[in-house]
Amino acid sequence: MRHDELYFKKAAPEISDAAYDALKREERALEKILSPGVSSADQAAAGSGLGDDRTGAFPTREHREPMLSLEKAYTEAELRAFLTGVQRVLGRDDGVWVVEPKFDGLAISVTYEGGRLVHAVTRGDGQRGDDVTANVLTIDSVPRALPAGCPDVVEIRGEVYMDYAEFARINAERDEAGEEPFAHPRNLAAGTLKQKDPGEVAQRKLSAVFYGLGAWQGSPPVPETQQALHGLIRAWGLPGIVRTVVAANAEDVWAAVEGFGRERAALPFPTDGVVVKIDSRIAQLRLGASDEAPRWAVAYKYPPQRVTTRLTAITLQVGRSGVVTPVAELEPVAIGGTSISRATLHNADEIARRDLRIGDVVYVEKAGEIIPAITGVDLSRRAPDSVAFTFPKNCPSCETTLVRADGEAAERCPNGRCPAQVRRRIEHFASSSGVGINGLGPVLIGKLVNAGKVADVADLYRLKRADGVSANVLAEIERSRRAELGRFIFGLGLPGIGSKGAAELATRYGSLSALAQSEGLDAESRALIAELVALGVDPQLAAGRATGPLFGKTVVLTGTLPKWTRAEATRRIVAAGGRVAGDVSRKTDLVVAGAGAGAKRAEASSLGVEVIDEAELARRLEERD
Ligand code: IVH
């Protein structure tokens, strides 16, 4: 189903987790009815069971032991039925259970061979996953090696996730840059881990936690209980689960589930439930597993936090590029400890699809517990005289007729001089992601734009005290004339140029006056830049920003290196400021070739890219920059 693809591969679901789970349950029930003879293995292969997170962007690797999912329970009754069933198989009623938080991230399997981390692989389809070793190595808490006395081979299972503080930091940055916030830390964690460039991954702080085992070869023997496993994971220096509750019977399990439920909102990391596991490994082995999930564990998912409130209005927000976003204005309502009075509605189609009407009583859910979303309408409470919402035809700021490009969902205001757009552009330029002008906030910007004093960034450099701007702010604006060039270019918000693109333009052109000559820019952008140059604005290329002997270098590894695993070499290159790419292209600076190197080495020679061996790489890594 389409939502599987969005959930697993693109890490960008369009529906809430609860809605997704409900759809999955319905799909499975239907499958049972429609094809009773089909084994669940076939169903899993058909994509209905475990899903598949592989993106096609990474080499894949087979797990030594399959990575299973968990049975889910959504109600107290379902959970108790599971516990009773297990006790029946075990033939006693005093089994020991371990209750743990269910981290909401992306499942990962990390393999240590001879105590050294050799692979980190996502679940994939349960059999084979994406090899994301270089990316996982950017997570500081994941040790490269285990202490002496660990087994010869061990697959440790866990979760890569993003804590709320980092999620909030990234969204605050996006907000300042006028970009849509990410909806959920899980999607952001998954999207980050699936970046091709480990350097990109390292810029966002991912976390990891480990709680399970796959393969285990050699001594010591496998820990006898889940509790002992948690202890061992932590003793090996891996991040483990700190808080678990041991329960002796169903009553205690339920009390623990409720206890975690109360604590959940205060935890610094995202959880979507608890996992209840039988403690004894012998009992686990006796119970075994189905094709999809072990029979000795269950995930209890907390019901979504959902409230109802009234939709009082739908307003439009105009972004700096003219994109118009409808916003639901709500009667304030408390959900999960915060009060909510607005929710984004994404675009006109979404309003039409849901037939949202002003005055409706709507359901508001905290999607993934973070950003409120309207998930439905209580039709039984709809006023008989309510009318369908007609999306405005004109910009709320400048009245220009809105346009919609073919194939696009968004309506846009095409008037580049639209005051709302101008305000947004200046806010972006002055924000800390742009040049950072202290004291030039939305209120002052609004006044200056409305008074006709500022219609673009260049006008900032014409402002005087007489325009109602304080000496301090004028001094700040003066200072920004020599701001860092990359930030300045980013701040201009040129079409299609994000922070990375801006940094690249800065290094390529070195100055605003050189950039003004660029043929690649549209006429309007060129004119604005030329005007800034004429006003004496001269942002500077940052000096000494390069760090590490391989700063800015793209390196490709090929063949087997004598000393380092690929993961180790990658880690060192990234630490030296370089990035590791998979394929050789004109953009490659260096190819490091080991034994058995073939096509990539040949490609490098034909493109004139330098090829070196491990010893030479080691020497260059030592160089001072
Ligand atoms: S045990 C053999 N414990 O939830 C089953 N899983 O929805 C091993 N998860 O696949 C899983 N926290 O990715 C386990 N404390 C925890 C967990 C946990 C999060 C994830 C894991 C699993 C998924 C099932």
What is the CB < 6 Å shell around ligand 1? Answer: 68-70, 100, 102-103, 107, 157, 159, 211-212, 275, 294, 297, 299
- Which atom of ligand 1 is nearest to 70's Cα? 24
Does position 87 have pLDDT exceeding 80, yes or no? yes
Residue nearest (by alpha carbon) to ligand 1 atom 22: 69
The reported pLDDT for the residue numbered 572 is 82
- The 8-class DSSP code of residue 181 comes to P
Pick from 501, 498, 504: nearest CA to 541? 504
- Matching residue, tokens 């040129």: 494
- Matching residue, tokens 């604590």: 263
Q: Which pLDDT band holds residue 178 (cuts at 50, 70, 90)?
A: low
Cα-to-centroid distance, 221 and ligand 1 (Å): 23
Q: Tell me, yes or no, if 102 is annotated catalytic.
A: yes
CA distances 594 to 537, 554, 563, 609, 620, Å, are 50, 17, 10, 16, 16
The reported pLDDT for the residue numbered 370 is 63
Q: Which pLDDT band holds residue 44 (cuts at 50, 70, 90)?
A: very low
Q: Which pLDDT band holds residue 150 (cuts at 50, 70, 90)?
A: very high
Q: Which pLDDT band holds residue 577 (cuts at 50, 70, 90)?
A: confident
Would you call 39 exposed, middle or buried from its count of C-beta atoms within 10 A (0-12, 13-18, 19+)?
exposed
Q: Which pLDDT band holds residue 36 (cuts at 50, 70, 90)?
A: very low
Mean pLDDT of 410-415: 93
Does position 241 have pLDDT exceeding 90, yes or no? yes
**Hey, what are 267's tokens?**
């935890």
The reported pLDDT for the residue numbered 495 is 85
Of 18-22, 172-176, 351-355, 557-561, highest mean pLDDT: 351-355
For 461-514, the pLDDT digits (tens) are: 999 999 999 999 999 999 999 998 999 999 999 988 887 788 888 888 888 988
Q: Which pLDDT band holds residue 337 (cuts at 50, 70, 90)?
A: low
Report the 3 state secondary structure along 477-525: HHHHCCCEHHHHHHHHCCCCCCHHHHHHHHHHHCCHHHHHCCCCCCHHH
Cα-to-centroid distance, 15 and ligand 1 (Å): 22
Residue nearest (by alpha carbon) to ligand 1 atom 1: 212
What b-and-e string marks burial along 403-416, b requiring 16 or more CB atoms within 10 Å of the CB? Answer: eeeeeeebbbbebe
Rounded to 10°, the helix 76-90/250-263 angle is: 140
Query: Can you give the pTM of this predicted structure?
Result: 0.61
From 275, 290, 300, mutation site for ligand 1 pocket: most ligand atoms within 8 A of C-beta: 275
Q: Which pLDDT band holds residue 22 (cuts at 50, 70, 90)?
A: low
Does position 446 have pLDDT exceeding 50, yes or no? yes
The reported pLDDT for the residue numbered 42 is 35
Is 379 or 7 the better-scoring residue by pLDDT?
Answer: 379
Distance of alpha carbon 613 from alpha carbon 595, whole angstroms: 9
From 8, 74, 159, 162, mutation site for ligand 1 pocket: most ligand atoms within 8 A of C-beta: 159
Cα-to-centroid distance, 336 and ligand 1 (Å): 24
From 52, 71, 102, mutation site for ligand 1 pocket: most ligand atoms within 8 A of C-beta: 102
> Helix or strand or coil: residue 574?
helix
Distance of alpha carbon 613 from alpha carbon 611, whole angstroms: 7
Does position 115 have pLDDT exceeding 60, yes or no? yes
Residue nearest (by alpha carbon) to ligand 1 atom 4: 102
Catalytic residue among 102, 194, 366, 600: 102
For 262-292, the pLDDT digits (tens) are: 888 788 898 989 999 999 999 999 999 998 9
For 49-59, the pLDDT digits (tens) are: 468 999 889 99
Is 436 or 61 the better-scoring residue by pLDDT?
Answer: 61
CA distances 227 to 276, 374, 559, Å, are 12, 41, 41
Would you call 556 exposed, middle or buried from its count of C-beta atoms within 10 A (0-12, 13-18, 19+)?
buried
The reported pLDDT for the residue numbered 50 is 61
